[in-house]
Chains A and B, each alone.
Chain A
Amino acid sequence: MTLNQQRKLKTILTGLFAWTVALVLFFPIFWMFITSFKTELQAISVPPSLFFEPTLDNFRVVQERSDYIHHAWNSVVTSFGSTIIALIIAIPAAYSMAFFPGKRTKDILLWMLSTKMLPAVGVLVPIYIICRDYGLLDTKTALVIIFTLMNLPIIVWMLFSYFKDLPKEILEAARMDGATPWDEVVKVVLPLSVGAISSTALLSIVLCWNEAFWSLNLTASDAAPLTAMIASYSSPEGLFWAKLSAASTLACAPIVIFGWFCQKQLVQGLTFGAVK
């Protein structure tokens, strides 16, 4: 075998291997998706059926039973709302820490991260009681506030590690030309960091969309996002797999499709500046 042939063979083997891993990891999602188009009987047939006449009945039943649109709207409002608020709060903080670091900047950053280490269960009871006393139980407001605070440390940190790598000379040049701090941020820093800000926002949206602890514990029906809606399908309806799959597909589809389009962005952001 020549060297060239060897290389070709290697590429083919790598490809085969990568595809196998990807298909195995993706299989449960694929299976959920096709089960949602089966009848209940087909869904539990042994051996599993791969070819069948698809039906849309399950989706209709799910919408009737638990008002998918309502919960999806709650998910959209809470995840986008809290991400936007968190960005507005985090951008100035990350900017000032990255461009004007003080002695304590490092400590503040580590402290912020350590609040993320604080397990949610540790403060579940007080938060629950505060929400109850202020009439915030089962409201979107409560979830938006909590999601904002929950992701704030990660958002500040991701933005900080990106801002830190921006060339300082550009800012100095802008300042020489008489730019005010406001101009500096809006006209220089923000346009340069659209990529970083969007990947940070993406991660935050994904984390909020999939957040289950607070939404399960603080909402019942009015403000329940999709994570809580799905949990209601867990035990009694557990055996109605087709309907369960339809509900799950509906719950995940928006964020999975959103993620597919943005995955390159997202991965770059997720590495926290550890990868250049």
Chain B
Amino acid sequence: MKRSITRLLMAPSVIMLLVWMIIPLSMTIYFSTIRYNLLYPGQNNFVGWMNFEFFITDPGFIPAVSNTLILLLSVLIITVVLGVMLSALIDKPFFGQGIVRVLLISPFFIMPTVNALIWKNMMMNPVYGIFAWISESLGFEPIDWLSSYPLASIIMMVSWQWLPFAILVFVTALQSQDTEQKEAAQMDGATGWHIFRYLTIPHLARPIAVVVMIETIFLLAVFAEIFVSTGGGPGYDSTNLAYLIYNQALLQYDVGVASAGGLFAVILANIVAFFLIRAVGKNLTV
């Protein structure tokens, strides 16, 4: 087929994504260099780097960056490690496998806003929540999760949502593992740990790469869970970059500073993507 036709077929996707990327991004760059507060219309003079200075010196900035990274790394580690272990353990036929699969994947379908509401109220509420009831039954003081450990609580909610995804991808991957190889290894006296370490883990390299990549895309942008449950607080304890920028733009009406923050988020995402693609990229077929 002619090159021109193949180009034509790609054109709609490429052009639309290009527009989707370039127009808002250049507007963001422009806004980030002018004074632009929705409360003071008409005073849009050029201010250079001032918005960036404001954003970077904002007391919420350092916590927001570190919270974003802590959230990303913790959820990645929890879901991948637990996901690999759990899927290796349940990768054998047992009673009711189909139902277990359905139950396991369900949290992935729950919308983030509902996820946050369930955990905030029914699980973590210090008076009426299930956790409080459990710790009281065991004779401990109930913990007010959201105010004492806000970031850990968010990590718990987000991991709950993504662990099923990891488990199911890994279980599907394990089903294609070579059983003869495993049996041969067993005959030669390999222990369960050796099989797991030298056969299962290498077999899972590509699925792990895929899980890490997809989760990273979504974890850098966690918003609804924070919006609904902690509102970024107390203080900035559970504010991530997404939430900080939202705060600047729609609560303080400062489009200029919010745009500067947006650019910063883009840069951070690119740094993460760079390391990520280097770390897992060789495992992806493109």
Instruction: Give the interface of A toward B (CB within 8 A).
Output: 10-12, 14-15, 17-19, 21-23, 25-26, 28-29, 31-32, 35, 44-48, 89-90, 92-93, 95-97, 100, 102, 106, 108-110, 112, 114-130, 149, 152-153, 156, 161, 164, 181, 206, 209-210, 212-213, 216-217, 226-227, 230-231, 233-234, 238-239, 241, 244-245, 248, 251-252, 255-256, 258-260, 263, 266-268, 270-276
Complex interface bits, B76-117 against A, C-beta within 8 A gives 1, otherwise 0 = 000000000010011011111101111111111111111011
The interface residues of chain A, by DSSP majority, are classed as helix
| Whole-angstrom distance between the Cβ of A237 and the nearest chain B Cβ | 10
The interface residues of chain B, by DSSP majority, are classed as helix
Is B44 on the interface with A (CB-CB < 8 A)? no
Is B3 on the interface with A (CB-CB < 8 A)? yes
Residue of B nearest to A209 (CB): B111
Known: A119-B220, A248-B117. A14 touches B104 (CB 8 A): no
Task: Kindly identify which residue among A28, A92, A117 contacts B273, using a CB–CB cutoff of 8 Å.
Answer: A117
Docked complex: B218-236 residues within 8 A CB-CB of A = 220-221, 223-224, 227-228
Q: Would you give 22 A-B contacts (Cβ < 8 Å), ordered by A?
A: A14-B89, A18-B90, A28-B122, A31-B118, A110-B286, A118-B25, A119-B262, A121-B241, A122-B28, A125-B31, A126-B259, A127-B24, A152-B17, A213-B223, A217-B246, A226-B111, A234-B228, A238-B120, A241-B128, A251-B114, A252-B111, A274-B285
Let me know if A21 and B173 touch, CB within 8 A: no
A201 and B10 alpha carbons, distance in the complex (Å): 19
Is B16 on the interface with A (CB-CB < 8 A)? yes
Let me know if A28 and B118 touch, CB within 8 A: yes
Quick check: which of B53-61, B147-155, B203-211 contacts chain A, the rest being far away? B203-211
Instruction: Give the interface of B toward A (CB within 8 A).
Output: 1, 3, 5-7, 9-10, 12-14, 16-17, 20-21, 23-25, 27-28, 31, 86, 89-90, 92-97, 99-114, 116-123, 127-128, 130, 132-133, 137, 160, 163-165, 168-169, 172-173, 176, 206-207, 209-210, 214, 216-217, 220-221, 223-224, 227-228, 241-242, 245-246, 249-250, 255, 258-259, 261-263, 265-266, 269-270, 272-273, 277, 283-286
